[in-house]
Amino acid sequence: MSQNLIPYTALKGKGVPYSKPHLWRLERAGKFPKRVPIGASRYGYVESEIDAHVDTLVAARDAAHDHAPNKPL
């Protein structure tokens, strides 16, 4: 099975605009996929894990929206 690693700079294009320190905090809290070491002081992210994370955020938003009471605009 082939997995693509993407650099930090590609995360913004996936809809993840956070700084490195914020991502590390989320990672330690188990709220963001863990980095993969690829060299001296170099890390990548598994692209499918990032995509799944974004999909989970969208699904959570949709579920919360479906259960929210309808408010007039």
Q: What tens digit of pLDDT does each residue of 3-16 get?
A: 999 999 999 999 99
The reported pTM is 0.83
CA terminus-to-terminus distance, the chain: 49
Q: What tens digit of pLDDT does each residue of 41-51 get?
A: 999 999 999 99
